[in-house]
Amino acid sequence: MFNIHDLRKDRFMLDGSFAFQGYDWWWHSFTGLHEKTGEEKPFFIEFFLCNPALGGDEPVLGQAAANQTAGAKPSYLMVKAGCWGKDARQLHRFFGWNGIIVEKGVPFNIEADDCYCSEYILKGSVSITKEEAEAHPEYLCDAGSMKWELAVDKQIAYNVGYGTSVPLTAAKAFEMYWHAEGMKTAFTGTVELDGEIYRVDPATCYGYADKNWGSNFTSPWVWLSSNDLVSRISGKRLENSVFDIGGGRPKALAIPFERKLLGACFYEGECFEYNFSKFWAGSRTGFKCEETEDEIIWKVVQENKNSLMKTLVRCRKEDMLLINYEAPDGTWRHRRLWNGGNGTGRIKLYRRTDSGMELIDDISAGHIGCEYGDYTC
């Protein structure tokens, strides 16, 4: 069972060594509909905290030339917002730590000027002119403006369990932690993108919300998730279903676990999980990510003692962006981290029986959140 909500894992995590070299982010993605045309637009909003012990009045940007020369680590709140599609973009707004209010208990909340993030509310704005973006390459972002006001209802969780337990979290054992408090999330509200209004409704938002924290990023980096699922057998929409896959090359106590993914499928109330940290379940994973001229393709096979899930996803590059993060040590490793929100795919879910594999469902997936990057290549 992995659908276990735990707001403790969504709390602020940058204490101890992570205060000096650590990041903590809350990610949200969803689809809105243009208020006049009804056109779909997939959006993302993220609150990214970095190195609080090194902060002050002004944000410290690690890619600024002077900071690169001085070897200064980044320190700030970055509010990242944007969209995917033909005009995909990422917009960044930075705050120094003295201008940030963080509730470090449970439930969390983060506030800086008009930007606010909590378990239940998401508000804020980002505006970058073309001239500003070109004059400040250290911002690692595009130009545009976006404003949002949203209610957040995290409905189905992917709690990975042992890997994010209190002892391992306190010990800072892993390089990168992951908790999806809302792998299926209902958003309600509005987004304004460059003056155009989009309505966000629970029935059509296909929302997602998770959290990552740690001292560095995994490579390869893989993420796939969707709750826009339709059975190819019955033709029915699977209203109470969602899948989520993430990971790549986790490290514990600086020891890498080669090519490991965590995966879960909540299928109409039944849990299917593929989690390498739960060794007793006999989980195994194989995956391949391909970059062609026009698209990114993910092929994932996950199995355990009881079931098997085959996942094939593709997303057009023209609808994606190369999303930018600098690591807490000041390096910018992932230069080709492909990120999208409108991938399409197919999932085949099987149950293992005494006589072999029995097909549970053959599923078409849309509005897939997807990510792939490998800075070792």
- The 10s digit of each residue's pLDDT in 202-214 is 999 999 999 999 9
Q: Is residue 48 part of a domain?
A: yes
Q: Among residues of the chain, what percentage have pLDDT more than 90?
A: 88
Q: Is residue 267 part of a domain?
A: yes
Beta carbons within 8 Å of 81's beta carbon, 6+ residues apart = 43, 44, 45, 46, 90, 91, 93, 124, 126, 146, 148
- 260 falls in which pLDDT band (50, 70, 90)? confident
Q: What's residue 64's pLDDT?
A: 96
Q: Has residue 254 got a pLDDT over 80?
A: no
Q: Is residue 104 part of a domain?
A: yes
pLDDT tens track for 61-118: 999 999 999 999 999 999 999 999 989 999 999 999 999 999 999 999 999 999 999 9
Q: Is residue 1 part of a domain?
A: no
Q: Is residue 160 part of a domain?
A: yes
| Burial class of 5 by CB neighbour count within 10 A (0 to 12, 13 to 18, 19+) | middle
Q: Is residue 232 part of a domain?
A: yes
Q: Is residue 2 part of a domain?
A: no
Tokens of 187: 């958003």
Average pLDDT over residues 223-242: 98
Q: What's residue 178's pLDDT?
A: 95
Count of domains forming the chain: 1
Structural domain boundaries enclosing 119: 7-373
Q: Has residue 253 got a pLDDT over 70?
A: no
Q: Has residue 218 got a pLDDT over 70?
A: yes
Q: What's residue 159's pLDDT?
A: 96
Q: Is residue 199 part of a domain?
A: yes
